[in-house]
Every structure is written in C-alpha cells, then in structure tokens.
C-alpha cells in the first residue's frame, strides 16, 4: 500500500455531514445557555410553541452565522474597502439584451482603426491625400516618358522604313538599267 504522510499518520478527512452535526451541536449548546441566562422565561410558555420558534430561529441564525464568520482580525476591525467590487447576480428579467452593449477599449480602438483606414482609402481613391497626389504626379511623369519613348520608336521605325524603301528603289533602278 501507500505510506502515510511525513508525520507518520495517514490523513483523516471530516465529512460534510459530520461538520454539519458539530455545528448543530454547538448552536444547540449556545441556545441552551441563552435560555438559562434569560431566567426560565421560556419555561412558562407552551413547549410546542417554544420548539417551533426555536426551529424558525435556527434557520435565521444559520444565515447570520454564515455571513458573520470572517477570517483573521476581520471580525474585530470593521473596515470597508472602497476599491472592493461586490459582485451582484442579476436575474434574467433584469438583463437588458436590446440595449447598447458597451465595448471594451480594445474593441473600440479596433473599430476606430478600421473606420480611419476606410476613410483614408476613400480620400486616396479620390486623389485628395498627399500620397495620392505624389502617386498621380509620378504616373504623369511616367506617361510622358513612355509617350516620348513610343514617339522615338515610331520615328526610328519610319526612318528604317524610308531607308529600306530608298534601298529598294535603288535596286529597282539598278535592275531597270
């Protein structure tokens, strides 16, 4: 089997039922002490009514004890932390699904970024941005260079054609002789 813990014994865990039983016993002792301090006022009344009132008090005390149990010196010093956010649960009827949803900072920034990019692209296509103006000026220069190059090519081709025609004329003249 498995060896025990480092202190020589196997660990023993208390079940939730045992813990509840211990708490009930402590509450019962505290209630009995309170009754004895009151001086027996409850003894003159009807025992059945007394039992019912004790049962109803028990459920209220359970809730109070649960809320009042605090760790460390928290029970001794009452301090309210203004930074502590108490989470409240909302009922389904309180949820507002149709209302505007608040976006996080990242989501807002992402949407603004997309809108700015779309605005810039519209202005760029319209030729209103500095970059678009520079691009259009560059394109105009390139068009002029290409037109000049095309014109030079055309002139060279015509010159070659004329030279070829002149050469053919000379041949035809020389053949006619």
Global pTM? 0.33
- Nearest Cα neighbor of 159 from 171, 167, 149 is 167
Q: Which of 167 and 57 is assigned the larger pLDDT? A: 167
In a domain, 20, yes or no: no
pLDDT of residue 95: 73
In a domain, 17, yes or no: no
Q: Kindly report, residue by residue over 112-167, the tens digit of the pLDDT.
A: 999 999 999 999 888 888 988 999 999 999 999 999 999 999 999 999 999 988 88
Count of domains for the chain? 1
Exposure of 54 by Cβ count < 10 A (0-12 exposed, 13-18 middle, 19+ buried)? Answer: middle
- Nearest Cα neighbor of 129 from 140, 142, 141, 116 is 116
Decide if 45 contacts 68 (C-beta within 8 A): no
Domain span including residue 112: 104-176
In a domain, 131, yes or no: yes
């Amino acid at each position: 089997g498995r060896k025990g813990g480092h202190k020589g014994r196997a660990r023993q865990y208390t079940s939730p039922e045992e813990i509840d039983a211990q708490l009930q016993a402590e509450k019962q002792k505290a209630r009995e002490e309170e009754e004895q301090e009151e001086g027996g006022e409850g003894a003159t009344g009807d025992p059945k009514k007394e039992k019912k009132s004790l049962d109803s008090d028990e459920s209220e005390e359970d809730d109070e004890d649960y809320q009042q149990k605090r760790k460390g010196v928290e029970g001794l010093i009452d301090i309210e932390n203004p930074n502590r956010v108490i989470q409240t649960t909302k009922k389904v009827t309180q949820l507002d699904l149709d209302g505007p949803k608040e976006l996080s900072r990242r989501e807002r920034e992402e949407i603004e970024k997309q809108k700015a990019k779309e605005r810039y692209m519209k202005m760029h296509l319209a030729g209103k941005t500095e970059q678009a103006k520079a691009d259009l000026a560059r394109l105009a220069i390139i068009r002029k260079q290409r037109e000049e190059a095309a014109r030079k090519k055309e002139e060279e081709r015509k010159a070659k054609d004329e030279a070829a025609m002149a050469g053919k004329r000379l041949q035809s003249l020389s053949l006619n002789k």
